[in-house]
Structure formats: C-alpha cells, structure tokens
Amino acid sequence: MPKEKTLEEKLEEASSAVERALEARDKAIQDLMEAKMAYGEVWRKLHDKSQAPVPDEKDEKTALRKAQRAEVEPPTDETNPPLDEKQS
C-alpha cells in the first residue's frame, strides 16, 4: 500500500498545482494580448492602404491654377470643333 501523504505534502502539491495554473493563465493572457496587437496591426495597415493620399498644398494650388486657366483660355485644339460646327 502506498504511504498516505501528510497534510504538509498535500498542501505542497496543491500549492504547486495552483502555481502551475496561474502560470498557464498568465501565458494565455500574454498570448491573447499579442494576438490582439497583431490583429490590430493588420487592420491598421489595411485602413492606411484604403485611405486616398491627401494632396499637399502645392498640388492643390497647381490644380487650382490649371482650372482657372481652362476657364479663361479655351482649348485651341481644332481636331474637336464644338458640336454645332461638326458636319454630319
């Protein structure tokens, strides 16, 4: 027959079991936090890619000048006459 464990031995076993369970819980929490961070990083990258680049001030000024010139100076391209001048 196996020797019956003393109360101190049972307490030591229980303490070890609790310590192992706490270590496993801490590891699971750490793994979960790492997974959440990785998941967040993936979504952040997808979000960044989906955003259209914001033009800088110089590009906006250039586009505005081109639009103003187009209003003032009509195109001189003779290959595409206005609709009323086209022959059928």
Phi, psi angle pair for 21, to nearest 5°: -65, -40
DSSP 27-76: HHHHHHHHHHHHHHHHHHHHHHHHSPPPP-HHHHHHHHHHHHHHHHS---
Quote the pLDDT of residue 24.
97
CA distance 5 to 28: 32
Judged against a pLDDT cut of 70, whether residue 82 lies above it is answered with: no
Q: What's residue 33's pLDDT? A: 93
Domain ranges for the chain, please list them: 7-72
pLDDT, one tens digit per residue, over 5-60 is 899 999 999 999 999 999 999 999 999 999 998 988 888 888 887 776 666 777 88
State residue 54's pLDDT score: 66
